[in-house]
Amino acid sequence: MTQSESDDTRPSERDVALIVGGGPGISSSCAKLFAENGMRVGIAARNPDKLVLQKLEKTHSVRRYACDASEPAAVELLFQNVVRDLGAPTLLVHNIDGRVPGIFRKGITEADPGMALDTFRNSAFSAFLIGQQAARIMRENNADANGTRGTIIFTNASAALKGFPSSGAFAMACHAKSGLAESMARELMPQGIHVAVVPIDAAIGWTQEDGTRAHRLAGTTVDDNMADPDRIAETYLHLHRQHRSTWAFEVVLRPWLEKW
Amino acid sequence: MTQSESDDTRPSERDVALIVGGGPGISSSCAKLFAENGMRVGIAARNPDKLVLQKLEKTHSVRRYACDASEPAAVELLFQNVVRDLGAPTLLVHNIDGRVPGIFRKGITEADPGMALDTFRNSAFSAFLIGQQAARIMRENNADANGTRGTIIFTNASAALKGFPSSGAFAMACHAKSGLAESMARELMPQGIHVAVVPIDAAIGWTQEDGTRAHRLAGTTVDDNMADPDRIAETYLHLHRQHRSTWAFEVVLRPWLEKW
Amino acid sequence: MTQSESDDTRPSERDVALIVGGGPGISSSCAKLFAENGMRVGIAARNPDKLVLQKLEKTHSVRRYACDASEPAAVELLFQNVVRDLGAPTLLVHNIDGRVPGIFRKGITEADPGMALDTFRNSAFSAFLIGQQAARIMRENNADANGTRGTIIFTNASAALKGFPSSGAFAMACHAKSGLAESMARELMPQGIHVAVVPIDAAIGWTQEDGTRAHRLAGTTVDDNMADPDRIAETYLHLHRQHRSTWAFEVVLRPWLEKW
Amino acid sequence: MTQSESDDTRPSERDVALIVGGGPGISSSCAKLFAENGMRVGIAARNPDKLVLQKLEKTHSVRRYACDASEPAAVELLFQNVVRDLGAPTLLVHNIDGRVPGIFRKGITEADPGMALDTFRNSAFSAFLIGQQAARIMRENNADANGTRGTIIFTNASAALKGFPSSGAFAMACHAKSGLAESMARELMPQGIHVAVVPIDAAIGWTQEDGTRAHRLAGTTVDDNMADPDRIAETYLHLHRQHRSTWAFEVVLRPWLEKW
């Protein structure tokens, strides 16, 4: 056997991963990969009874939690329950898109203000609440073999990289999430907490019940021009395993055929 | 007389400028400069009875409006009143910092969620509301000599350029405002509306009653390491007068001695 | 007479402007505008006998200099001659694109290395040489009414903002020029020298002999989707006149219909 | 055994890695890690007889090549020799800093133009030459299990992210390298070649003969505020193993205690 990347990685069996936002894409892929690497895994979602999550519970012992992540009290309760059930989280993934459907592709003169505010609350504000609770817990963790007390990863979207036309509300939310992540990184990294943001500059596919890959955007076909969430999860795991001498903050992922 | 910059600028006397946010810094400097260049000027503030605004009414015929710019209905009413009193705005300045005092220099674990949300509402969300109403009106304006139907300028802060530690809530708000501005620029510029954002990467001074300059940050002295709002206003006027063949979107202003 | 932007600007008649790079676009527009505002103006070009430059000499008393700006000794001599003829420069514009024609739209596997190196020498390296001589002189200038000892403006291209495919050599040169400008800004601004870079994110038109506007790219028509160099020059003048309490470093200019 | 990250990675034993630039930091760490993962590895350096490289030959069968990477003919010959000895490269690392010592911390008015040009030639221009040869070969490779024909990774420095004062020449070179990488990424990614740039925003340590870590900057002590090249190499390997549905282009690495 050759020496390999994994020799010096942390003992994952002591890791506790909490994934906020629950769907068949990145969240499911992370839950599987983290569990397969020995972590105890929880997923929080508004509706934790989705079939995809029930299945993860059976196949990967993933614990399911109901939580509206835009509500301060609900987020506080979530972390109390996770600590009680699984232990203190060492890896947090915030994976909520948050767009209210009615805001999609609306010009600035048409977009509903209430929907714009809700999009922010669902996305950046929930990231603030989740990140706040995670930071409170992680700074009390012992450092692992890589010197890490905990890792906080925020998924983000193309709208964090560029303000597209007819997407003002989503641009606000995604830029806000990036700004929060950057502030938290500068604040928490010297305390041993690795904060990262991963903008996925592409549509994201997922694996359907029948094993084929599906596409997030209705009316598009499944081709190479979308990101595979199983591969996104691998980069999240790599980020978690980085030694604190070499932490990455922002990693943009995009498919080889994506225009940018 | 030599040919000069001003020969081909718009007839400012037909300009209507609305400044949202009213204090003794950028808002007052803009109000004065715009009025001195022949514009009709309105200022909206939560408290329009501040002495500095009363004085501007007397010296520069500036019209004062009471408005909580984070309330959709209040913003809609504001624009109805401005159109009735002054005519359709051709120049809008959104100049609200929006930080709730209690959020200032709070770490992510200490910051109050309600204050974080209020900071967003005061800042980026009010920019959304104000920008929406301005866009609805300006796209119906005739183009001026520079091909411009209207100019929308958002003041922003250093926190839009960088997420500083212990400033997560403000980073969210300022990044959100930048993302909104960029989306609006891409959407509205092809419709003849010039959208710009001006991050002031410095503390801002202002002129006091006695004519001396004061500094925004308590405990600091007045020196060259702060931005003079009278000069900031000049760049706003320059942006408004740019021909549509050469519009700038983002202009960061900082003093010569500022570290960056 | 109303108070206006120009009341507090510097006495331009003491200004000496040197424009490096000589063509019928930005350089000519700058030369005219600067002369019309009372400055003494010199233009340096590889071939100073171009008709457009001879005409500027007649109409605007612009002094012409022959100079290969990629040669250290030639640049040193140029500044000696300008100081002797016009006085110490207070405004420098570096306006050289520098692309060797044969490098245009060549993929990385096809691009000729010698041409790539020449493109760098013409563009970023000449900016280094010119900027070096300008800095040596300007730091000895007295500060003007705005606190400015001198202004150095580098024109740049879209390739400074984004590395386009099949444009690696030009991306190198334009990014290099931006990096140089940023380093010089941080170094020289505290010494009273304003350094700015202006990427023009568009094709640039110019005024032909018959008064019509022409387009820089062969085969395209003259429409609104190009930048008017007369308007670019106005922004350069505005940058030169900014007070040192509010200097802009980077200003990207693009037409209203440009995609970005 | 649990399913893990490595299950779906490429059969590294068919990989051929070429590392350009040879020292006891990143280059040595990459050579070891790549060899330990089954790759055939070559290192090119101006002086391939350094003890650290001779040792790598003995312990990890690393092949050594003499090459001045700023010379087109030398680079062409290098690739011919590597293909002959090891096979067509599938992983290229360009790891040359390139600074001429005499340019270090020189202000713009003091920096020697010849040294500035040499710094560019050593750094960005050699990246152009190396990248060109690698692209010519890799586009003919078969795609591996991740859909990758080859991976080209450019190491970069903090000066690529920010133009520091008294560092104009190095800012030019590092920005140029980033611009080149971005152009190559947009051009080559749709051809199945993964191009990435990794700015190391820190001083870099290395392992000395006696096993202790040393620091790149004289006069500083070995502490956590420097990047461990063994860990940098892990991120390079991760980049090489990313599936083409989720390629990262830029990954900035910095230690937890680094200010940014």
CA distance D137 to B250: 42
Q: Give the nearest chain C residue to D132 (CA atoms).
A: C109
The structure tokens listed for A15 are 């890791």
Residues of B in contact with A168 (CB under 8 A): 128, 131, 179-180, 183-184, 187
The residue that leads in pLDDT, B249 or C22, is B249
B226 at interface of C, judged by CB pairs closer than 8 A = yes
Identity of the residue numbered B87:
G
- Asked if A43 is an interface residue toward chain B (Cβ–Cβ < 8 A), one would say no
Q: How much is the pTM? A: 0.94
DSSP-derived letter for residue C177 is H
Q: Closest residue of B to C2, CA-based?
A: B36
Mean pLDDT of D92-116: 96
> pLDDT digit string (tens) for A83-106?
999 999 999 999 999 999 999 999
List the single residue in A with minimal CA-CA distance to B119: A125
Angle made by CA atoms C151, C156, C162, in degrees to the nearest 5: 135
User: What is the pLDDT, as a whole number, of residue A217?
Assistant: 55
pLDDT value at residue D13: 55
User: What mean pLDDT do residues A148-169 have?
Assistant: 98
Distance separating alpha carbons of residues D228 and D204, to the nearest angstrom? 6
Residue of A nearest to B171 (CA): A179
pLDDT of C4 strictly over 60: no
Element (H, E) at C199: strand C193-200
Extended beta strands in A98-221, E state: 150-157, 193-200, 203-207, 213-215
Range name among C7-16, C29-38, C143-152 with the lowest pLDDT average: C7-16
DSSP state letters, C44-102: EES-TT-HHHHHHHHHH--EEEE--TT-HHHHHHHHHHHHHHT-S-SEEEE------GG
pLDDT band at C195 (very low <50, low <70, confident <90, very high): very high
* pLDDT classification of A176: cutoffs 50, 70, 90: very high
Contact A182 B188 (CB under 8 A): no
Residue B25's nearest CA partner among B258, B239, B207, B210 is: B207
Yes or no, beta carbons of B176 and A181 under 8 Å apart: no
Inform me whether the C-beta atom of residue A132 falls under 8 Å from chain B C-beta atoms: yes
Report which of B53, B66, B54, B17 is spatially closest to residue B38, judged by C-alpha positions: B17
Contact of D231 with chain C, judged by CB distance below 8 Å, is answered with no
Lowest-pLDDT range, A78-82, B192-196, D102-106?
D102-106
CA distances from C28 to A147, B4, C233, D205 (A): 60, 15, 9, 52
ipTM of the modeled complex: 0.93
Distance set, CA C111 to CA A257, C114, D100, D133, D213 (Å) = 23, 9, 26, 11, 42
pLDDT of residue C223: 58
Quick one: average pLDDT of B25-52?
Answer: 97
Instruction: Count Cα atoms within 13 angstroms, Cβ side, for D85.
Output: 17
**Residue B108, min C-alpha distance to chain C (Å):** 31
Q: What is the pLDDT of residue D10?
A: 44
Does B125 score more than 50 pLDDT? yes
The verdict on D36 touching A (C-beta cutoff 8 Å) is: yes
By C-alpha distance, the chain D residue nearest C189 is: D165
Residue A9 DSSP one-character state: S
Averaged pLDDT, C40-56: 96
Q: Which of A38, A12, A5, A25 is nearest to D9 (CA)?
A: A5
CA separation for the pair C178, C154 (Å, rounded): 8
Q: Is the Cβ of D105 closer than 8 Å to some Cβ of chain C? A: no
Beta bridge partners of D247: A254
How many CB atoms are closer than 10 A to CB B87? 14
Residue C121: per-residue pLDDT: 98
- CA atoms of C150 and B4, how far apart (whole Å): 21
Query: pLDDT-derived band of residue C219, with 50, 70 and 90 as boundaries?
Result: low
Interval D154-183: pLDDT, tens: 999 999 999 999 999 999 999 999 999 999
Residue B133's contacts (CB-CB under 8 Å, 6 or more residues apart) are B75, B76, B78, B79
CB within 8 Å: D190 and A224: no
Q: Is A192 on the interface with D (CB under 8 A)?
A: yes
Question: pLDDT class for D206, splitting at 50, 70, 90?
Answer: confident
Confidence band, pLDDT 50/70/90 cuts, at residue A23: confident
Q: For the segment C134-189, what is each residue's pLDDT rounded down to a tens digit?
A: 999 999 999 999 999 999 999 999 999 999 999 999 999 999 999 999 999 999 99
Give pLDDT, residue D223: 59
Q: State the chains in contact with A (3 or more Cβ–Cβ pairs under 8 Å).
A: B, D
More confident residue, D125 or C220: D125
**Nearest of C160, C152, C237 to residue C189 by alpha carbon:** C152
What band does C218 get if pLDDT is binned at 50, 70 and 90? Answer: low
Mean pLDDT of B72-90: 98
Please tell me the distance from the alpha carbon of residue D225 to that of residue D213, in angstroms, as a whole number: 12
Q: Give me the pLDDT at residue A8, please.
A: 39
What pLDDT digit, counting tens, does each position of A205-234 carry? 877 777 666 665 555 554 577 899 999 999
| Closest chain A C-alpha to B141 CA, distance in angstroms | 15
Decide if D248 touches A, using CB distance below 8 A: yes
- Partners of A245 on chain D (C-beta within 8 Å) are 205, 224, 226-228, 231, 255-256
pLDDT (0 to 100) of residue C8: 39
What is residue A5's predicted lDDT score, i.e. its pLDDT?
37
Distance between CA atoms of B173 and B118, rounded to whole angstroms? 10
Report which of residues C211 and D102 the model is more confident about. Answer: D102
- Is pLDDT of B67 > 70? yes
CA distance D11 to chain C (A): 28
- Best to test chain C binding among B5, B7, B13, B237 (most C CBs inside 10 Å): B5
Is B130's Cβ below 8 Å from some Cβ in A? no
Provide the mean pLDDT of chain B.
91
- Number of Cβ pairs < 8 A linking chain B and chain C: 124
Nearest Cβ partner of C253 from B5, B228, B246? B246
Over residues D27-41, the mean pLDDT reads: 97
Residues of B in contact with A141 (CB under 8 A): none
pLDDT for A225 equals 79
Contact yes or no for C168 and D184 at CB 8 A: yes
A11 pLDDT exceeds 50?
no
Do the chains contact at A113 and B172, CB–CB below 8 Å?
Answer: no
Residues of chain C positioned with their CB less than 8 A from the CB of B244: 224, 255-256
At residue C214, the pLDDT reads: 67
Residue pair B225/B203 in contact by the 8 Å Cβ criterion: yes
- Which chain C residues are within 8 Å of B255, Cβ to Cβ? 244-247
Compare CB distances from A183 to B139, B171, B180 and report the shortest one's residue. B171
Q: What angle do CA A162, A168, A174 make, to 5 degrees?
A: 55
pLDDT > 70: what percent of chain B? Answer: 90
Angstrom distances, CA of residue A106 to CA of A102, B176, B219: 8, 17, 46
pLDDT band at A4 (very low <50, low <70, confident <90, very high): very low
Q: Measure in Å the smallest separation between the Cα of C150 and chain D Cα atoms.
A: 15
Q: Average pLDDT for residues C74-85, to the nearest whole number?
A: 98
For the segment A43-65, the average pLDDT, to the nearest whole number, is 97
Contact across the interface for B252 and C257, Cβ inside 8 Å: no
Predicted pLDDT of residue B10: 44
Whether D78 contacts chain C with CB within 8 A:
no
Q: Do B246 and C232 touch (CB under 8 A)?
A: yes
| CB contact A16 to D (< 8 Å) | no
D225, D245, D254, D259: which to substitute to probe chain A, counting the most A Cβ within 10 Å? D245
In this predicted structure, which of A232-246, B38-52, B218-232, D53-67 has the lowest mean pLDDT? Answer: B218-232
Q: Which residues of C touch D167 (CB under 8 A)?
A: 183
In whole angstroms, give the CA distance from residue C172 to residue D177. 6
The residue in chain A having the minimum alpha-carbon distance to the alpha carbon of residue B108 is A132
Does the structure show a pLDDT above 80 at B16?
Answer: yes
pLDDT at residue A203 in the model: 87
pLDDT at A258 over 50: yes
pLDDT in tens, D112-160: 999 999 999 999 999 999 999 999 999 999 999 999 999 999 999 999 9
